[in-house]
Amino acid sequence: MAAVSAPTIDLIFLLSQAAHALQTEMTAALEKINATPRAYCVLTKARQGEFTQKELADLCALDKTTMVVTMDALERDGLAERRPSPTDRRARIIAVTPAGEQVVERGEEIVDSLYSDVLGSLPDEQREPFVAALQGLMSGRLAEPAECSTTVRRPRSS
C-alpha cells in the first residue's frame, strides 16, 4: 500500500491562524479606547461617505443582524447615529458623531501602530511583496467565495 503524503503547506491553517492572532491583538489594543474591531470598521467606513446601514454592512462584511446589533451599541455609546436618508425615506444613513470621530482618530493610531509592528517583524524586502500578494489574492482568485451547498461561516469576533 502506498503511503499518503501530506500537503507540503497547509495554507488555510496558516492564513486562519495569522488572521486569528492579528484579530485578537487588534481586539486587545482597541479595548484601550473601549472599541471593538467591528465598531472601528463601521465608524471608519461611515466617515467616508453617506452610507445606509445595509451599504455599511456590505463594506464591513457583516450580516444584517450583526450590523443592527453593532449600530445599536454605537448609538447607545453616542459614537454614531442613524439619520433619515434624503433620497429614500425607508433608509437610514449612518453618521459618525464627534465622539465617534475621536474613537476613529485614536483607533487609527492604534491600528497603524499594530500593522507597522506586525509588518516590521518581516525582513524589509518581504513586506511589500507580502501585502501585494494578499491584495492580489483578494482582488483576484479569492475575490468571491465559491458556490457551496454548505454554509461556511466566518469566525466569530468579539
Q: For the residues 58-66, what does the mean pLDDT come to?
A: 92
Q: Give whole-number Cα distances, 81 to 17, 51, 90, in Å.
A: 35, 12, 15
Q: For the residues 63-73, what does the mean pLDDT come to?
A: 94
The pLDDT, as a whole number, for residue 157 is 46
pLDDT, tens digit, for every residue of 116-153? 999 999 999 999 999 999 999 999 998 888 888 886 66
CA dist 20 and 31 (Å) reads 16
Judge whether 39 and 79 are in contact, CB under 8 Å. yes
Q: For the residues 34-55, what does the mean pLDDT come to?
A: 94
pLDDT tier at 59, thresholds 50, 70, 90 = very high
Q: How many CA atoms are closer than 13 Å to the CA of 14, on its beta-carbon side?
A: 6
Q: What are phi and psi of 94, to 5 degrees?
A: -90, 125
The pLDDT, as a whole number, for residue 158 is 43
Domains in the chain, CATH or no CATH each: 26-111 (1.10.10.10)
Q: Range with the lowest mean pLDDT among 26-30, 79-83, 84-88, 135-139?
A: 84-88
The pLDDT, as a whole number, for residue 29 is 96
The model carries a pTM of 0.82
The pLDDT, as a whole number, for residue 135 is 95
